Structure formats: C-alpha cells, structure tokens
Amino acid sequence: MPLLAAREWGVFTANGLDMEVILMQSAIVPAALSQGDIDDQAGVGPASVNATLRGFPTRAIWFSSDKISYWLMARRQYKTLETLKGKKIAITGLGGTVHVAFNLAMEKAGGNPKNYVLVSIPGQQIQQLISLESGYVDAALLSPPVTFGAQKKGFNKVYDVGASVDMPGGGLTTLVKTIQERPAETKRVIRRCRWPRMKSENQSRKPSS
C-alpha cells in the first residue's frame, strides 16, 4: 500500500524516479534481482531473508510497518481455532510470510500448526476469498482491504494473527551492489517510501485550538 500511495501522490516523480510495479512469484524474485531485471523487491519476509541467508547478496533497506495485518477468516459455522482443526485454510504460499506468521501465531495460542490443513493458493488475496466463498476451503488468512469484504459477506474473524506475531510488514529489499554503487538513488527510494505515511499522519492531524 505505501508503494502504491507514493506512486499515486507523485512522490516517485518528485524524487526523480520512474517506478513500475511488476507482479511476480516470490520464489523467482532473488534471481530477478541478481540478474538486474528488477531494482528492488517489495517486501521483507521469510522468502527474501532466506534468499539472503542462502548467499544472495541482498539486504533489507526499509520496513513499512513493525506489525503485519493478517486475520484468520472462516465460514460462518467456524468461530474458534478449535473448530478449524483438520479443516482447510488458504494461504498465499508455503514458506512465505503468511505461512510463517500462521505457524508462530498458532504456537503462541498454545496450538499445533500441524492440526490445520494449509492450502497454497498463489496470486492476489482475492483468490483466497473466492476459494472461501466457493467452499473449497473453510478459512483463509487475509489482510486489509480483503478482510473487510470478507466480513461484509458474513465470514467470521476467528483470530488476529498479526496482533500476536512480532514481524515486520512490507518494506523493501535490494542488492548490496545497488546500495554501494548507487547510494544516492537508494536514499531517494527510501525517502519516497517513508513520505506517504508522514503525509497521511499530517493530514489527519487537527490544528490545536
């Protein structure tokens, strides 16, 4: 969301940057970064961290939030984690941020992640909601604004995964080479990411009487 807001508000242009959003599977992003096909990866999660640990010369340079926003939404007959045991839960991908966050949240809640059947449904989260509506899965891990649409359709908020897990959300990952060879550009990239949040806070601040 911060990246799209920055583009919409013209912050990229103001900082001399020509920004393009490219949707790709997280598994191929490290290779695309290394080959120079893309300049930055949106997101700092388990996939990008694991890539760095495996030897890819990448670094996290910015976080958009110190919390993730994921709710476990379920069909109407399921209201607790206990009732979802053995049921199918849709996530965006195994081994990614959502998967790791779910496992951590279940352990913190005193449960066993293996008690649930996780179904990987790649793509945008609307695909998880569609799978939930069709009955293909019994629950799904969703984030705003899809969560609000799910609530309007009558699905239950069973568990706030983001509130129980300390994990940064969003952010940017880039090559060490980019940081070293193009430091001024890297600073402009970080600055244009931070600006939208500061702007929204200033806009919502009412003048004192």
CATH code for the domain of 62? 3.40.190.10
Q: Are residues 80 and 147 in the same domain?
A: yes
First-to-final CA distance of the chain: 33
Per-residue pLDDT band for 205 (boundaries 50, 70, 90) equals very low
Q: Are residues 16 and 78 in the same domain?
A: no
Residue 197 inside a domain? The answer is yes
Q: Are residues 55 and 137 in the same domain?
A: no
Give the residue-averaged pLDDT of 26-34: 79
* Domain ranges, residue 82: 71-164
Q: Report d(CA 128, CA 120) in Å as an integer.
A: 9
Q: Report d(CA 3, CA 104) in Å as an integer.
A: 27
Residue 97 inside a domain? The answer is yes
Q: Are residues 103 and 138 in the same domain?
A: yes
The pLDDT, as a whole number, for residue 204 is: 39
Q: Are residues 156 and 94 in the same domain?
A: yes
Residue 100 inside a domain? The answer is yes
Residue 59 inside a domain? The answer is yes
Q: Are residues 160 and 175 in the same domain?
A: no
Q: Are residues 194 and 159 in the same domain?
A: no
The pLDDT, as a whole number, for residue 89 is: 96
Q: Are residues 9 and 41 in the same domain?
A: yes
Q: Are residues 126 and 145 in the same domain?
A: yes
Domain count, the chain: 2
Q: Are residues 97 and 159 in the same domain?
A: yes
Neighbours of 143 (CB within 10 A): 17
pLDDT at residue 196 above 70?
no
**pLDDT tens profile 127-137:** 899 999 999 99
Give every CB contact of residue 32 below 8 A, 6+ residues apart in sequence: 24, 38
**pLDDT tens profile 45-99:** 666 777 777 788 888 888 877 778 889 999 999 999 999 999 999 998 777 778 8
Give the residue-averaged pLDDT of 1-13: 80
Q: Are residues 159 and 115 in the same domain?
A: yes
Question: Taking the CA of residue 87 as centre, how many other CA atoms within 13 Å lie in the half-sphere pointing to its CB?
Answer: 22
Residue 209 inside a domain? The answer is no
Rounded to two decimals, what is the model's pTM? 0.66
Computed on alpha carbons and rounded to an integer, the radius of gyration of the chain in Å comes to: 19
Q: Are residues 85 and 151 in the same domain?
A: yes
Q: Which residue has the tokens 């910015």?
A: 62
